[in-house]
Amino acid sequence: MSSEPIERRVSYLGDRLRGRRCQICGKEYFEIKDYCGNCGRKSFGKMVDMDLFYEKGKLEVCTFVNEPTNKFTKLGSYIYGIVSFHNGKIRVPGRLTDRIMKDNGETDFSALEGRYVVPRFRRRHSVDRRDVIPTISLAFTFADEYYPHQEYTVVKPNKEYDVPGIVGYGVYTSKFRIREGNIERSVPYIDEDAITAAVEAGKLALIHSGVDSSLVGKIYVGSESNPYAVKPIASKVAQVLKLGEEDEDMQGVDAVDAEFACKAATSMFKDAASLVNYPKSNIQYAMVIGTDNSQAAPRDCPGGELDLFVGFGGCAYIFGKHDVIAEIEGWYSCTSDTPDFWRRDGEPYPMHGGRFTGDPAYFKHIRKAAKKMIERLNLQVGDINYFVAHQPNVQFPVKIAKELGFKEEQYLPSLQVAKFGNTYSGSSPVGLAAVLDIAKPDERILIVSYGSGAGSDAYLLITTSQILDKRQRQKLTVKYQAENSFLEYVDYTTYRRLKLGM
Amino acid sequence: MQSRPAIIAVGRTKFGEHYEKEPEKLIEEAWLKASEKAGIERRDLEAAYLSDYFLPITNKLGLEEGFLSELTEVHVPMEVTRSFSSALLNACNAIQAGRHNVVLVGGIEKMTDRWDKIRDDLMLLEDPWSYYAGCTPEANHELMLRAYIKKYGINGENLEKLNIGLAQISVKNHLHATKNEYAQFQRKITLEQVLSARKRAQKPLGLYDFAPISDGATALILASEEFAKKFTNKPVYILGSSSATDYLTFPAREDMTHFLVSEMAMKKALEMAGISLWDLQIVELYDQSTVMEMISLEDLGFCERGKAWMNIYESCQDYKGYYEVDGRKLFVNMNGGLKADGNPLGATGGAQIFEVFKQLRGEAGERQVKSDRELKYGCVLELEGFGTKGYVYILGRD
């Protein structure tokens, strides 16, 4: 139970589905209770925390809501019900999300009841544009549908590397797509945004890496569709994912947002890697997330040409020196003040420099960064197994890959834009994830991001044998998300409505 | 023996939409009606116990007592609680403690002024997490029904009968209200209307399964047994009064198929009144939904758990004006219940008491129940929230 003003200040209770269990009698509460209702005074100090956030619940009973209360009208109609955890020991209210209800309804509740569900981190309800955005994890999807339930098990690290690298990653996209021509783009459900995608991606990265979340000492969240002009996203991610040592209601973690158009996240890879490598930082792991609900004006408006390419998704990487799956061999970044894409403060949609965004912007920077990177490490294009470039559309990355001398088998595995659209800060990171999903040990990957404004970051990575060990924990691979049988295609009107959000 | 608080007069407004009336005008009307009958003056009142849920929210009126003082020029102690039943309980306590001899109990609500946001306001009666998860004022009733169906394994033909039984509750309550001049809906509805509304809503319960939002006020004059005799030779005594409280969070309750508070309050009220269950012939239930009426029949003990729908269904096949349970007659919601009489939250309990008062005195006119036994006792169940608080009153006459 919590009141509205308190909720605004301590929002993570519902975000994380926090509760307490009495160690004496085992009674559980969806509430931070200091003592047990059964055991009374003797249970003080014997109540242990639980987060239902990573768990699987069961939809006990449900009903259909087609006349929601005012704050939920933008959701349209939805299924609302009661979800139990731990064999019915604890019950919480919840709604099913990621469900566009059909006009003819879905009234066979008994077909839904009794099924397992997974909590999803979503926007809670509509608020005024001036207000803090409330979030919640009392939104569920079925555990046997698009997002299968995955346990989060902390794995004790067994090998320390000389150089830092990637220890885990997670990709999060929605189950909705719009298909136009030969390109499919991911579309958020109406209760999703860059914040919710960041949390979900971070959650998946923790699951994949097996890293203890309390050992993550720094989190960078890169986005250009932050719903706030002022207020970090990273603080929300840190608190919900319980990063760093938790002390009272604070997390012992440094959290910061980054912004540099589509390279906001990749720019921070080197910072994260350096941080975990600095002996006195006491930071074992650092997380970098690129997340965007890529914005575009409607097609007939200025800037509307972007509406053909924008996607939605988040991608999270954890860097460290233990149980590394891909070591960082080196990096190179370049920057120039090139105004090819921008969004002024207070404007809802970005503007775009048209043809100007090709040669003097995208190609120039990627070419420079890629060549310098290869040169610095004295490599040949043939020494590199996979090439990952920023993917604003299908043509650009193919053109630059060919120009640099890469063959199809080197660049095609990373080319994901035709499946998800341009996920902006998550664009090249998703490409990298697609490669990490399939790479064998001792393979070299060159990733070159591009951010308008403009700049590129190039990284050379080399995979280790542990990439195979951890792969079994990566269920939501990029391929799985691209080819999932639960994908749902929406028309243009629905796409705009969903993208605009609550 | 403990003194019995006595109701000497009751009054009420019509329930419905009173968009032209100030809230205090409604309570004035109810009070005037009650006091006129009793031949009592406002200066005879020693205290007033009032109730409303939402006036500060719907009508931006705080300290409602002050308004009433201004209106009546009465400066006696006044208290405001949320439900008529809670006001009445405080009044009973004061009378029984000997603090006052004659008091006013009044309830008022004006919900239709804010029809655009009243459903959000109604969520104040549920826990915030349910609200945040997308709950509506109707959803818990439907979930309770789902839980009930599952728990008792009702399916096939029986499920059909249950659904029809629930619809018949609504049909029956509307029928009763045709004889109630104060009721919000004084018209009959058909089984087909109830069922097709459900179909339109694509869910277990539809428009006709729920009580409406209403404006209205109710009042009664409560006096000590001694004092009552000065005003009336037909006082109706409050023989049993009790309340109980449960978690606000419906999903956290152990049993989602009944209301613990009704069961507990009924048990204590019967003990207090010193009568047995089937001495009661007339019952006013809190039918915010048809499910609530069904569940309450079980909670109060009139029907076996998991079986009320069967009693209802069978009684309504050829409805004679009462439910029949094992050959015994039970007159339920003779005023039309919340469904048809109306449900102005803070005033609702007053209308329930009003009905039993009238019936016990044989003053219910056209809707006076015809019982083969002497009509001596009646009972009222009022709930606050979705079974968060329950109040039971047992009324009786000499």
Strand order in the sheet with B236-245: B78-81, B47-51, B102-110, B215-223, B6-12, B236-245, B389-396, B377-384, B282-284, B328-332, B323-325
A155 within domain boundaries: no
Predicted TM-score of the model (pTM): 0.95
CA distances from B38 to A215, B32, B35, B48, B355 (A): 76, 10, 5, 16, 17
Domains of chain B: which residue ranges?
6-116+213-231
Asked if the structure places residue A65 within a domain, the reply is yes
Report yes or no: A91 at the B interface, CB cutoff 8 Å.
yes
Beta strands in A304-428 (DSSP E): 312-322, 326-335, 341-342, 351-352, 386-389
Q: Which chain A residues touch B148 with a CB distance below 8 Å?
A: none
- HEC per residue, B152-211: CCCCHHHHHHHHHHHHHHHHHHHHHHCCCCCCCCCCCCCHHHHHHHHHHHCCCCCHHHEC
A58, A60, A61, A67: CA torsion to nearest 10? -40
> What are the phi and psi torsion angles at A370 (to 5°)?
-65, -45
Q: Are residues A233 and A286 in the same domain?
A: yes
Chain A hits for B150, Cβ within 8 Å? 61, 113
Q: Is there a contact between A92 and B146 if contact means CB atoms under 8 Å apart?
A: no
Q: Do A80 and B120 touch (CB under 8 A)?
A: no
Q: Chain centroid to CA A358: how far? A: 28
pLDDT given at position B67: 83
Tokens 């860059």 sit on residue = A194
The answer to whether B200 faces chain A, any CB pair under 8 Å, is no
Contact predicate A91/A83, CB 8 Å: yes
Per-residue tens of pLDDT for chain B, all 398 residues: 468 999 999 999 999 999 999 888 999 999 999 999 889 998 899 999 999 999 999 988 888 898 888 888 889 999 999 999 999 999 999 999 999 999 999 999 999 999 899 999 999 999 999 999 999 999 999 999 999 999 999 999 999 999 999 999 999 999 999 999 999 999 999 999 999 999 999 999 999 999 999 999 999 999 999 999 999 999 999 999 999 999 999 999 999 999 999 999 999 999 999 999 999 999 999 999 999 999 999 999 999 999 999 999 999 999 999 999 999 999 999 999 999 999 999 999 999 999 999 999 999 999 999 988 999 999 999 999 999 999 999 999 98
Distance from CA of A79 to the nearest CA of B (A): 9
**Any idea which residue has 């040949």 for tokens?**
A380
Give the nearest partner residue to A2 out of B128, B143, B256, using CB atoms: B128
Give yes or no for a contact between B189 and B228, defined as CB atoms under 8 angstroms apart: no
SS3 (DSSP) at A139: strand
Listed as own residue / partner, the contacts of A180-185 with beta carbons closer than 8 Å and 24 or more positions apart are: A180/A308, A180/A492, A182/A394, A182/A418, A183/A308, A183/A309, A183/A393, A183/A394, A183/A417, A183/A418, A183/A421, A184/A418, A184/A419, A184/A420, A184/A421, A185/A309, A185/A310, A185/A311, A185/A312, A185/A420, A185/A421, A185/A422
A139 chain-B contacts, CB cut-off 8 A: 133
Inside any domain, residue A151: no
Cross-strand partners of A444: A462
Q: What is the distance between the terminal CA atoms of chain B, rounded to a whole angstrom?
A: 15
DSSP B348-365: HHHHHHHHHHHHHTT--G
End residue of a domain, out of A79, A108, A142: A142
Give the alpha-carbon dihedral of B334, B335, B338, B343, to 10 degrees.
-160
Closest-approach residue (CA) in chain B for A7: B128
A312: closest CA of chain B, how far (Å): 24
- Interface residue A111 vs chain B (CB under 8 A): no
Cβ of A92 and B256 within 8 Å?
no
**Is A121 found in the same domain as A190?**
no
On whether any CB of chain A is under 8 Å from the CB of B129, the answer is: yes
Q: Does B117 touch chain A (CB under 8 A)?
A: yes
What residues 313-352 of chain A have any CB closer than 8 A to a CB of chain B?
A: none
Domain co-membership, A132 together with A167: no
| CB spacing of A106 vs B252 below 8 angstroms | no
E-only strand ranges, A11-157: 18-22, 28-29, 47-51, 57-65, 78-85, 90-96, 116-123, 135-142
* Burial of A182: CB neighbours in 10 Å, binned 0-12, 13-18, 19+: exposed
Contact A92 B129 (CB under 8 A): yes
What contacts A357, CB < 8 A, 6 or more positions away?
A340, A341, A392, A452
- List the structure tokens of B39: 């031949």
Residue type, A486: F
Count the neighbouring beta carbons within 10 Å of the beta carbon of residue B51.
30
Which residue from B120, B133, B202 is facing A107, i.e. has the nearest CB?
B202
CA distance B318 to chain A (A): 31
Residue A107 has its nearest CB partner, among B134, B203, B256, at B203
Domain match, A346 and A479 both: yes
Residue of chain A with shortest Cα separation from B257: A61
CATH architecture of residue range(s) B6-116+213-231: 3-Layer(aba) Sandwich (3.40)
Which residues in chain A are contacts of B120 at CB distance < 8 A?
69-71
Q: Is B153 exposed, middle or buried (0-12, 13-18, 19+ CB in 10 A)?
A: exposed
- Dihedral, B67, B73, B76, B82 alpha carbons, nearest 10: -20
Among chain B residues, CA nearest to A105:
B202
Given the residues A28, A262, A352, A443, the one annotated as active site: A262
Residue B238's CB: how many other CB atoms inside 10 A? 26
Is A36 part of the annotated catalytic residue set?
Answer: no
β strands within A419-454, DSSP E: 444-448
Given A125, A208, A352, A390, the catalytic residue: A390
User: CB-based contact (8 Å) between A55 and chain B?
Assistant: no
B393 phi and psi angles, rounded to 5 deg:
-120, 135
> Which of B353, B369, B356, B359 lies closest to B106, judged by CA?
B353
- Concerning whether A62 is annotated as a catalytic residue, the answer is no
Q: What is the interface pTM, i.e. ipTM, of the complex?
A: 0.94
Return the closest-CA partner of residue A261 out of A426, A109, A404, A83. Answer: A426
What pLDDT is attached to residue B261?
Answer: 98
Same domain, yes or no: A174 and A306? yes
Distance CA B380, CA A301 (A): 64
Nearest-by-CA chain A residue for B137:
A69
B373 inside 8 A of chain A by CB: no
Peptide linkage before A454 cis (omega within 30 of 0): yes
Residue for token pair 């969806």: A30
CB distance B143–A91 less than 8 Å?
no
Catalytic residue among A28, A184, A200, A224: A224
Per the CB < 8 Å rule, is A80 touching B135?
Answer: yes
Q: Which domain holds residue A432?
A: 161-500
Residue of A2, A62, A80, A104 to mutate, testing the B interface (most B Cβ within 10 Å of its Cβ)? A80
Cβ neighbours of B125 in A, within 8 Å: none
Which parts of B202-327 fold into alpha helices (H)?
Answer: 225-231, 260-273, 290-299, 308-317
Residue of A nearest to B120 (CA): A69
Domain match, A131 and A241 both: no
Residue A475's Cβ-side half-sphere holds a number of Cα atoms within 13 Å equal to 14
Number of domains in chain A: 2
Contact, B319 vs B165, CB < 8 A? Answer: no
Alpha carbon of B58: minimum distance to chain A alpha carbons (Å): 15
In total, the C-beta contacts within 8 angstroms joining chain A to chain B are: 107
* d(C-alpha B25, C-alpha B31), whole Å: 10
Could you give the CA distance from residue B336 to residue B333 in angstroms, rounded to a whole number?
5
Of the residues B132, B138, B207, B247, the best mutation for testing chain A's interface (the one with the most A CB atoms within 10 Å of its CB) is B132
Does residue A149 sit within a domain?
no
Compute how many other C-beta atoms are within 10 angstroms of the C-beta atom of residue B14. 20
User: Is A229 an 8 Å CB contact of chain B?
Assistant: no
Q: Is A81 found in the same domain as A182?
A: no
Which residues of chain B are within 8 Å of residue A65 when distances are taken between CB atoms? 134, 136, 139
Q: B258: which DSSP letter?
A: S
What is the Cβ-side half-sphere exposure of residue A421, based on CA atoms within 13 angstroms?
A: 28
Judge whether A150 lies within some domain. Answer: no
Intervals of chain A under pLDDT 70: 1-2, 8-11, 103-106
List the one residue out of A337, A338, A388, A330 whose CA is nearest residue A359. Answer: A338
Cβ-defined contact of B135 to A93 (cutoff 8 Å): yes
Strand A254-258 to strand A326-335: parallel, antiparallel, or no bridges (unpaired)? unpaired
Do residues A314 and A368 share a domain? yes
Of B145, B138, B389, nearest in space to B257 by CA: B145
Q: Smallest CA–CA separation between A129 and chain B, in Å?
A: 18
Tell me the three state secondary structure of residue B382.
Answer: strand
- Whether residue A156 is contained in a domain is answered as no
Output b/e per residue, B345-366; b: 16+ Cβ within 10 A. Answer: bbbbbbbbbbbbbbbbbeebee
For residues A465 and A382, membership in a common domain is answered with yes
| 3-class DSSP assignment, residue B19 | coil
Residues A117, A171, single domain; the answer is no
Of A69, A90, A107, the CB nearest to B119: A69
Contact between chains at B256 and A3 (C-beta distance less than 8 A): no
**Alpha carbons A394 and A402: distance in angstroms, whole number:** 13
**Would residue A39 show up in a list of annotated catalytic residues for this protein?**
no
Residues from chain B contacting residue A107 (CB–CB below 8 Å): 202-203
Q: Among B125, B198, B203, which would you mutate to test the A interface (most chain A Cβ atoms within 10 Å of its Cβ)?
A: B203
Cα dihedral B303, B304, B305, B309 sign = negative
Q: Which of chain A's residues have a Cβ under 8 Å away from the Cβ of B143?
A: 61-63, 80-82
Query: Looking at the complex, does the CB of residue B133 fall below 8 Å from at least one CB of chain A?
Result: yes
Q: Which helix (H) or strand (E) holds A398?
A: helix A395-404
- At A476, which CATH number? 3.40.47.10
Q: Do A65 and B136 touch (CB under 8 A)?
A: yes
- The C-alpha of A500 sits at a distance from chain B's nearest C-alpha, in angstroms, of 20
